[in-house]
Structure 1
C-alpha cells in the first residue's frame, strides 16, 4: 500500500495502535439475547482474576461459591478436581437452568488435573492422546452451552516475578511454567478455533474504559450504568486486596486431629498475634470457618505468647466424612494450607 506525502489523519494512526484486545471467531455482540457461557482462561497470574471480577461487577453469575479477589467458583473446581464427569455435568446443567448467561474462571484449565481423562469414552486410545489435559478441556468444552472464551496474556517475566514475590517461587522455574501454560493454551485455540477475546492484561488496565467496552460488546452484555461504574472502579493496577489475599506464607499452623466429631489444630499469623480465621474444606468444598483463639498450653510461649491460637470444628456435617475424604484447613487470607494439610480421613476399624 502506498501513501501520499500528505500528513496522514488520526484514523491512520489509530489503525496502527495496539489496543491489546482482539476478537477471533464470533462477531462481537452476536450472542446478545442468547444463552451462553463465558469462560475466562489464562496462565496463573495473567489477569484472569481481573477479567472475572469485571464480569462479576457487570452482572455475570460466576458460580455458587466464588470469593473475591480470585473469583473462582469452588463448587465447579471441586467437581473438576474430584474427577467425575457426572458431577461436572450436574453443575453445568444447574447453572444453565438458572442463568441465561454465566461464567467460570480457571487459570490453566485442567492443567495438571488428574482423573477426568480416565472417565468416559476417549475419542482415541489413551496412548494416542497427546495430552490428557487437552482431552479433558475438549470434553469440558463439549458440555458447555455456546461457550465464549476470554483469554488473558501477560509477559512471562511479570507472571514469574509475581509468583516469586507472592509464593517465594524460583524465577526461572516460574518463567518456564508460564511458557508451558501458554503452549497449552495455544494448543487449545488451534484445535478448537473458538469464539474468543484475546486480552493483554497490562493494556486492559491502562485502557480500562476501552477494555470494558470491548468485553461488554463481545459478551453481548447489557449492564446498568452503576454496574459499569463498579466494574471500572474494580480494575486497578496492583490491587491491594489481590496482593494481600494471594500471598502465601503469611500464616503458620498445623492440622492435628481429624475425627467424625472434631477437627482440631492451631493457626496464627507469622508477623503478629491478631486472631486468625481458619477455613475448613472437605473434598475441596468449604464447610465452615472458625477463629483460632482457643488456649493450648503446649503452644504457650513456644508458638504463641499466650497460647491462644488453637481451633476446633465440632458442628460440621459428619456425613461428609467418608473413607478417603480429603480434609484441608488454611487461614482464610492465605493461599496455602497449614502444615499437615491435607489429611485423608480413614474410618476407624471399630466403625466398619
Structure 2
C-alpha cells in the first residue's frame, strides 16, 4: 500500500489471497456507501439483482429488516454457489457477519457534518441532532472494527473523490483484482452527487406537496423497470404505463409492498411498489428513453423519463 496520504488504509492484512469471499460495505447512510458499492460493481463484483443508483440489494436487506435469518441463509447459500466473490452494502450487516462466507469489509467514512447535512435535507430534521446521531453510529462502527479480526479496507469519502485513481487502485489491490478495463470504469464512476443518485427515492424534497400523483423509478435493468407510485388522494392501487422511446409497451397496477416509502413521508402508503417485466426476447438497449406514466394522465413519475445506460 502507498505511504502517502491518499485516504485509505487496511486493517488485519488484505483479502487478495482469499479465492472465495463476501465483501461487506459498511458506513453511515448518506456517507458514501453507494459510491463504494458502485465501484465494486464496476470492478466486476456481483452486488445484487435489480440494483438502483444506490446499489442496494433489496432481497437480502429485506431479510435483515424482518430479521428473517432462514431466508437470508437461503439467499446467501445460492449466491455462494454462483459467485466465488460477491458483495452487499449495509451499515448493520456486522450483526449477521457469521452468516457470510469469508467476510471482508470495505468501510467508508465521511465528514460528519456533510453526512448529517445530507440526511437533514432528506428527512427534515435538526442538523445538530443528526450530527450527534451520525457521531454515535460512527462510534459503533469503530467499535466493531476494533475487535474484528477480518481484513478491512478503510477509506475517506472525501479523499476518494479527490484521488479516485488511488482509491480504486488500493481497493483493487486489497481484493486481488487486476482487470485494467474494469479498474478504469470504476475510476470513471466516481463522481460527487451524481444526478442518478440524488434524484432517486430518498429525495422527497423533489416532490411538491400539492401533487396528487407521485412516484419514482428505482431500478432499470435490461428486462425490467421497478419503483413505486401512488396517489395522495386515496390508498387504492394506481395503473401505470411503460413507454420505451415513446411507444407504449406495457400497463400494470401497483401491488408490491414498499414499507420504506411511508417511513419517509406520512402522506404516503405502503402498497405502492411496481415492477414491469418485459416480454421474453424484448430487452432494453443503451440509449432507450424510459418513461413511466400514470394511466389516464400525461404525468410521468418524478425521475421519468430517463435514459437506459
TM-score, length-normalised on structure 1? 0.63
Deviations 1:126-172 (A, max 9, x none): xxxxxxxxxxx34x111111111001111111111112233322101
Task: Please tell me whether residue 249 in structure 1 is matched to residue 198 in structure 2.
Answer: no
Closer, same or farther: CA 19–64 of 1 in aligned 2, 3 Å: same
Query: What SS does structure 1 have at the residue aligned with 2:92?
Result: coil
Query: What SS does structure 1 have at the residue aligned with 2:238?
Result: strand
Residue 144 of structure 2 is matched in structure 1 by 188
Closer, same or farther: CA 278–41 of 1 in aligned 2, 3 Å: closer
Distance 2:159 2:269 in 1: 39
Task: Please tell me whether residue 47 in structure 1 is matched to residue 3 in structure 2.
Answer: no
Residue 240 of structure 1 is matched in structure 2 by 195
* Residues 154-165 of structure 1 aligned to structure 2 (within 5 Å): 154-165=110-121
Distance 2:228 2:32 in 1: 31
Moved more, 242-251 or 87-96: 242-251
Query: What SS does structure 2 have at the residue aligned with 1:109?
Result: helix
Q: Return the match for 2:183 from 220, 228, 250.
A: 228
Give unpaired runs (5+ residues) of structure 2: 219-223, 241-250, 272-309
Query: What SS does structure 2 have at the residue aligned with 1:54?
Result: helix
Following superposition, the deviation at residue 224 of structure 1 comes to 4.5
Distance 1:231 1:243 in 2: 19
Matched-pair contact (CA < 8 Å) for 1:278–1:329: no
Query: What SS does structure 2 have at the residue aligned with 1:249?
Result: helix
* Residues 64-213 of structure 1 aligned to structure 2 (within 5 Å): 64-68=49-53, 70-106=54-90, 108-109=91-92, 137-138=94-95, 140-213=96-169
Residue 257 of structure 1 is matched in structure 2 by none
Distance 1:212 1:336 in 2: 33
Q: Return the match for 2:238 from 305, 311, 314.
A: 311
Closer, same or farther: CA 163–317 of 1 in aligned 2, 3 Å: closer
Matched-pair contact (CA < 8 Å) for 1:156–1:178: yes
Residue 119 of structure 1 is matched in structure 2 by none
Residue 46 of structure 2 is matched in structure 1 by 61
Matched-pair contact (CA < 8 Å) for 1:329–1:338: no
Give unpaired runs (5+ residues) of structure 1: 1-13, 111-136, 255-265, 270-275, 280-285, 300-309, 321-325, 344-352
Query: What SS does structure 1 have at the residue aligned with 2:186?
Result: helix
Query: What SS does structure 1 have at the residue aligned with 2:5?
Result: coil
Distance 1:291 1:83 in 2: 27
Following superposition, the deviation at residue 84 of structure 1 comes to 1.4
Following superposition, the deviation at residue 205 of structure 1 comes to 1.0
Closer, same or farther: CA 289–210 of 1 in aligned 2, 3 Å: closer
Distance 1:22 1:327 in 2: 38
CA RMSD of aligned residues (A): 3.5
Residue 268 of structure 1 is matched in structure 2 by 213
Query: What SS does structure 1 have at the residue aligned with 2:13?
Result: coil
Matched-pair contact (CA < 8 Å) for 2:230–2:268: no
Following superposition, the deviation at residue 328 of structure 1 comes to 4.4
TM-score, length-normalised on structure 2? 0.71
Distance 1:81 1:93 in 2: 19
Distance 2:178 2:35 in 1: 19
Following superposition, the deviation at residue 30 of structure 1 comes to 2.3
Deviations 1:225-250 (A, max 9, x none): 1x222211110122222222242232
Distance 1:183 1:154 in 2: 13
Residue 285 of structure 2 is matched in structure 1 by none
